C-alpha cells in the first residue's frame, strides 16, 4: 500500500441508501476542505458533519477524503468523481422540489373524482362543468362508486377526491363537510301518506318500503327505524337510485332519501312526492372525502371551495 493512500474497503453490491442530507454535507466539506468550515456553512455541528461523511463512505464502500490533521480534508480520486455527481443530484432534487411546489400551488392538471352512486347523476355533471369553466387548466374525470369503494379508491390513489356522506368515515381519511341533508320520504302521489306535510317513522311503520340496498347506506336508512325500536317492512330492494325512484312512482312502496332531485319525476316519467321526515336521527352531512394532506394540492382545495360555493347558495 502506498503511503498516504486510503485503505482499501471491501467491495459489496451497490444497494445504497444514502440521503440527500449526507450528500449536502459531503459537497460542503468538499467545497470548504474542512469539517468545521462545512459545519459553519450549513449551521450544523462538526460531529454531525463527521458522522454523516463516515456513514456515506461506509454506504458507498470507498473513502471520499484523506483526513490530514494539519491540512484538513483532501478529496480522494473517488471523492472528486463523486463530488461532481453529488452536486448534480442535489441540483436535480432542488428542481424537483420546485416543480412539486409549482404543481401543488397551481390549479391545474387532472382531478379524478369519485362520487357516491346515490346522487352522482344529480350533482356531478353540473359541478364538473362549472368547475372546469372556472379553472380551464383542470380536467375532471368521474367514477360512480359505493361508500366502501370510495374509501378503497382513495387509499389506492385511484381517485383524488370523493363526494359522499359522513357515514363510517375511517380515521385515515379526511371528511370536509359541505352541507347537511335532512331526510325525505319519497312517495307516489296516490300513496295513502302522500297528502301529509311531514311524516314520522311511526307513520311509515305499517307501509311497505323500497330499500336502496347499498353498503353502509342501507344501514343508515334502517337506523331511522332502530331509533324508534322497530324495523321497516321491506318490499323491494335495489342498488340503483333511478330504479328506486321508478319503483316508488309505480306504487311498490315508499323510500327514504337525503338527496332530493331537482325534478319530481321518476325516470319513466311518472310523478313523485317528497315529504320531510321528522326523526331523532340527525341530518346526514354531505361533503368531500380525501386522503390525508390532499388539500395541500391547490386543485383539490379549489374543488372543495367550489363545491361549498355552488351547493350552499
Domains and CATH numbers, the chain: 20-104 (1.10.10.10), 109-180+285-311 (3.40.190.10), 183-282 (3.40.190.10)
Residues 6+ apart with CB under 8 A from 99: none
Asked whether the predicted pLDDT for residue 103 surpasses 70, the reply is: no
> Which position has the higher pLDDT, 172 or 262?
172
Across the chain, mean pLDDT equals: 86
Instruction: Write out pLDDT tens, residues 115-166.
Output: 998 888 888 899 999 999 999 988 899 999 999 999 999 999 999 999 999 9
Say if residues 266 and 248 touch (Cβ distance below 8 Å): yes
Asked whether the predicted pLDDT for residue 307 surpasses 60, the reply is: yes
- Nearest CA to 246 out of 225, 267, 263, 227 is that of 267
**Residue 177, CB-side half-sphere exposure with 13 Å CA sphere:** 8
Residue whose C-alpha cell is 315508499: 254
pLDDT of residue 14: 47
Whole-angstrom Cα distance, residue 64 to residue 26?
9
Whole-angstrom Cα distance, residue 304 to residue 236?
36
Asked whether the predicted pLDDT for residue 81 surpasses 90, the reply is: no
Residue 198's CB is within 10 A of a number of other CB atoms, namely 11
User: Which of the residue ranges 66-80, 81-95, 186-200 has the most confident prediction, judged by mean pLDDT?
Assistant: 186-200
For 248, the grid coordinates are 316508488
What does the pLDDT average to over 67-78? Answer: 80
106: pLDDT confidence band, cut at 50, 70 and 90?
A: low
Residue 177's CB is within 10 A of a number of other CB atoms, namely 12
What does the pLDDT average to over 56-79? Answer: 83
pLDDT of residue 100: 59
Residues 6+ apart with CB under 8 A from 27: 83, 86, 87, 90
Q: Range with the lowest mean pLDDT among 14-23, 38-47, 227-236, 239-248? A: 14-23
Percent of residues, the chain, with pLDDT higher than 70? 90
pLDDT of residue 99: 63
pLDDT of residue 11: 47
Asked whether the predicted pLDDT for residue 304 surpasses 90, the reply is: yes
Asked whether the predicted pLDDT for residue 101 surpasses 60, the reply is: no
Instruction: Write out pLDDT tens, residues 225-277.
Output: 887 788 899 999 998 888 999 999 999 999 999 877 777 888 889 999 999 99
Structural element, H or E, at residue 310: helix 298-311
> Which position has the higher pLDDT, 309 or 1?
309
Burial of 300 (0-12, 13-18, 19+ CB in 10 A): buried
Amino acid at each position: 500500500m502506498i503511503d498516504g493512500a486510503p485503505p482499501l474497503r471491501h467491495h459489496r453490491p451497490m444497494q445504497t441508501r444514502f440521503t440527500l442530507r449526507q450528500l449536502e454535507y459531503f459537497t460542503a466539506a468538499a467545497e470548504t476542505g474542512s469539517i468545521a468550515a462545512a459545519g459553519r456553512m450549513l449551521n450544523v455541528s462538526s460531529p454531525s458533519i463527521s458522522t454523516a461523511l463516515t456513514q456515506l463512505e461506509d454506504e458507498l464502500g470507498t473513502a471520499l477524503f484523506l483526513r490530514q490533521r494539519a491540512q484538513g480534508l483532501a478529496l480522494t480520486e473517488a471523492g472528486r468523481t463523486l463530488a461532481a455527481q453529488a452536486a448534480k443530484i442535489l441540483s436535480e432534487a432542488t428542481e424537483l422540489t420546485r416543480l412539486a411546489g409549482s404543481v401543488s400551488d397551481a390549479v391545474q392538471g387532472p382531478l379524478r373524482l369519485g362520487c357516491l352512486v346515490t346522487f352522482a347523476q344529480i350533482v356531478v355533471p353540473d359541478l364538473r362543468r362549472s368547475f372546469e369553466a372556472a379553472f380551464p387548466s383542470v380536467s375532471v374525470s368521474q367514477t360512480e362508486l359505493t361508500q366502501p369503494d370510495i374509501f378503497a379508491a382513495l387509499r389506492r390513489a385511484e381517485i383524488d377526491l370523493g363526494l359522499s356522506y359522513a357515514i363510517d368515515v375511517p380515521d385515515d381519511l379526511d371528511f370536509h363537510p359541505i352541507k347537511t341533508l335532512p331526510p325525505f320520504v319519497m312517495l307516489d302521489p296516490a300513496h295513502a301518506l302522500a297528502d301529509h306535510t311531514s311524516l314520522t317513522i311511526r307513520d311509515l311503520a305499517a307501509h311497505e318500503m323500497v330499500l336502496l340496498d347499498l353498503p353502509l347506506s342501507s344501514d343508515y336508512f334502517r337506523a331511522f327505524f332502530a331509533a324508534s325500536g322497530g324495523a321497516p317492512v321491506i318490499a323491494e330492494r335495489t342498488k340503483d337510485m333511478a330504479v328506486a325512484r321508478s319503483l316508488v312512482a309505480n306504487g311498490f312502496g315508499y323510500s327514504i332519501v337525503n338527496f332530493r332531485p331537482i325534478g319530481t319525476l321518476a325516470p319513466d316519467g311518472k310523478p313523485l312526492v317528497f315529504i320531510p321526515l321528522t326523526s331523532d336521527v340527525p341530518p346526514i352531512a354531505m361533503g368531500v372525502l380525501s386522503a390525508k394532506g390532499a388539500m395541500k394540492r391547490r386543485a383539490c382545495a379549489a374543488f372543495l371551495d367550489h363545491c361549498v360555493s355552488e351547493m350552499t347558495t
